[in-house]
Each structure stands twice: as C-alpha cells, then as structure tokens.
Amino acid sequence: MTEAHVPITAEIVRSRAAVLRTRIDSVAGDRPVGIVAVTKGFGVEAVRASVAAGLVSVGENYAQELIAKAADLGADPAAAPEWHFLGRLQSNKVRQLAGIVDVWESVDRAELVDEIAKRSPGATIFLQVNLSGEEQKGGAPLGDIPSLAARAIDAGLRVTGLMGVGPAGDPELARPGFRDLVAMADRLSLPERSIGMSADLEVAVEEGATLVRVGHALFGDRPPR
C-alpha cells in the first residue's frame, strides 16, 4: 500500500495537522494536547515542513538518523525543532545525542539515567513505561518507575513525564495501560503524559494524554527501512 513518493511540504503537513487537531479536540475539548511530529523514516524535508507548519516538537527513534538530520538542518534557528528522542537507546549513543536532544522520552533504565545525567546535566527526560509486555518496544515495568524517577531526580535530571507505546491492534487494547501510566504520573506529580500515536490517539487523549506522537497521520506511509 505504499503511495508514490510525494514530497512532503509544509502545506501538506499543515492540512494534515488540521485534521489531526480536529481528531484531538473532538475528545480533549478545551484541554491542551501537544503534538510531537514523528519523522523517523522520512527525510530532513519532513522536519523542515513540520517546523514550517508550526509543529516544532519533532521525534526520532534512531540516533544516527537524528544526528544526520540535525546536521542537515544546520544552525538556521527558523528551522530548529525541539528534538524528542523516542527510540530504544544504547548508552554509548548518549554522548553524541547530548547537545541535540531536548527531551529524552524513552529513558527506561538506571544505566541510561546515569549516562544522560553525565553527558547532558539537567536534561529533561520522560520515563518510558512498557505497556505491551513486548521487550522490543522498550520501557520499564510500571513498578520500576518510582525508583527510576527518584534516581533521575537525585542525578539532577528534570523528570517531567511518562511515555508509553500501546500494543498494536484495536486501540481499545491500549486503554488499560494508558490508564495505569496516567495514574502513575498523577502519583509522582509528573505533568506530561506522552501516550497515543496515529492509530490510538483518541483513546490516549480520553485517558489523559498531554502529548501525542504522530507519524503516518502527518507524513503518510513510512518508506521501508
């Protein structure tokens, strides 16, 4: 079902973002919900188009891809996104990403907390909760989150939220995990809840998402990796 490769322009992103806003607002009402535009698998033009369309929070999953796109964008402040790192992260990649990444959303273990605190003192992080039980999606078990948060705060990091990826399939399957994540964020007084993607964002917003991370609803089908 791959579409012919259509260049991604700011106009396309703007019109798809308007559709996305309607979907979000139909559930959120007046409650503000932010959008992280997920550009993994697309070229740097998707990042430029996103920022030009007013979606300045941009998410990537792979260290090398993010570093390459940031280098392509250069120092132009008008093109500069707020970079969110979303993917599974090896500690040895942290050093190269420090100074580029603005929000580390996928922090899921003590080793990573310690390395980010060392390479990017005071950085803003979210802790990732594993909601699906699938190891390859990353995330810490919910029960480990309080101690990870304490460790990160002790290390001087700004822990501002929790992130989770719902299971694939019927969006309703994601609801119990989203609910548990939001309850934990409430308990730890963490304001940000980064849950919901293209397919399950209505459920996430109903359960209290403050950020949704959206790729294909903005940019179309991802080219095969």
Q: Which is nearer to ligand PLP, 92 or 225 (CB)?
A: 225
Torsion of CA 32, 191, 110, 179, to 10 degrees: -70
Nearest to 199 by CA among 174, 225, 224, 163: 174
- Binding stretches for ligand PLP (CB under 6 A): 38, 40, 61, 86, 165, 197-199, 213-217
User: What's the CA gap between 113 and 125, in Å, rounded?
Assistant: 9
Pick 19 or 150: Cβ nearer ligand PLP: 19
Residue 97 or 217 with smaller CB distance to ligand PLP: 217
**Closest distance of CB 43 from ligand PLP, Å:** 16
Q: Give the nearest distance from C-beta 78 to ligand PLP in angstroms.
A: 25
The amino acid present at 58, given as its one-letter code, is V
Q: Name the residue nearer to ligand PLP (CB basis): 89 or 155.
A: 89
Smallest distance, ligand PLP to C-beta of residue 164, A: 9
Minimum CB distance to ligand PLP, residue 148 (Å): 18
87 φψ region: left (φ > 0), alpha (ψ -120 to 50), beta (else):
beta
CB of 212 to ligand PLP, least distance (A): 8
Q: Minimal CB distance to ligand PLP: which residue?
A: 215
Q: Percent helix, strand, coil in the chain (nearest 5)?
A: 45, 15, 35
Q: Which is nearer to ligand PLP, 136 or 189 (CB)?
A: 136
Quote the CA–CA distance of 108 and 216 in Å, as a whole number. Answer: 25
Residue closer to ligand PLP (CB basis): 3 or 30:
3
Residues 6 or more apart from 61 whose CB is under 8 A from it?
38, 40, 85, 86, 87, 88
Measured in whole angstroms, the distance separating CA 79 from the mean position of its chain's CA atoms is 19
CB of 178 to ligand PLP, least distance (A): 13
